[in-house]
């Protein structure tokens, strides 16, 4: 398992009995980006950063070789969440200003093996300043957004095959976290929590 601090990783191979401290950006000194999100795939750790004008984006850290490489450049966006959907790495990103929120994806094998990683961005039905979380179960992928001027955030279904993000519900406040089981989901918003199961809404 892996946890993170501002610029530090905490790695355990024995279910948390002991922890190793890792500084993946040590070579970057005072220019090191801050960590915003993580996703562990085999012994590869994908690291999403907070907004950083020089080193922002998605990084790949090999826990065995300790090699680090940047696979996505994002200087004006934070990488809020990362997940795996079939053979793709999916990133939710954005900033607190504007409507630059986006869901992008790349082939996970390409990101590990190739020198250059090609990213594709989904078209969003409704613009958001940022997407905040991702959840996938049995080929169903959801994301949540920051709140709009009315204090409402979007709960969206991500269709990677079509390259689109469609709004399916809303929640009060920022959509901090979402977890799903097939089409059903539970969302923790900053203003309320909401559960949806078999198209029956429970508030």
Question: Which residues of the chain form CATH 2.130.10.10?
Answer: 1-121
Angle (nearest 5°) at CA 187 between 157 and 10: 100
Tokens for 60, please give them.
């790949």
Confidence of residue 125 (pLDDT cuts 50, 70, 90): confident
Q: Which CATH architecture best describes the domain 125-203?
A: Beta Barrel (2.40)
**What superfamily in CATH does domain 1-121 come from?**
YVTN repeat-like/Quinoprotein amine dehydrogenase (2.130.10.10)
Question: Which residues of the chain form CATH 2.40.10?
Answer: 125-203
Could you read off the pLDDT of 40-70 as tens digits, one per residue?
Answer: 999 999 999 999 999 999 999 999 999 999 9
What is the Cα–Cα distance from 163 to 59, expressed in whole angstroms?
23
Asked if 86 and 72 touch (Cβ cutoff 8 Å), the reply is no
Prediction pTM value: 0.93
| Over residues 80-99, mean pLDDT | 93
């Amino acid at each position: 398992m892996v946890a993170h601090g501002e610029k530090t990783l905490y790695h355990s191979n024995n279910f948390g009995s002991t922890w190793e401290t890792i500084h993946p950006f040590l070579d970057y000194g005072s220019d090191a980006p801050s960590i915003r999100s993580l996703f562990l795939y085999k012994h590869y750790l994908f690291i999403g950063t907070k907004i950083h004008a020089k080193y922002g984006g998605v990084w790949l850290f090999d826990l065995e070789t300790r090699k680090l490489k940047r696979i996505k450049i994002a200087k004006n966006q934070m990488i809020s969440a990362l997940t795996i959907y079939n053979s793709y790495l999916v990133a939710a990103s954005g900033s607190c200003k504007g409507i630059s929120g986006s869901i992008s994806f790349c082939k996970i094998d390409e990101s590990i093996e190739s020198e250059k990683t090609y990213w594709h961005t989904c078209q969003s039905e409704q613009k958001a300043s940022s997407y905040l979380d991702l959840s996938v179960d049995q080929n169903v992928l959801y994301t949540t957004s920051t709140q709009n001027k009315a204090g409402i955030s979007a709960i969206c279904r991500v269709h990677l095959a079509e390259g689109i993000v469609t709004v399916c519900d809303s929640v009060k406040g920022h959509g901090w976290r979402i977890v799903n089981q097939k089409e059903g989901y539970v969302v923790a918003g900053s203003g309320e929590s909401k559960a949806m199961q078999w198209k029956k809404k429970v508030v």
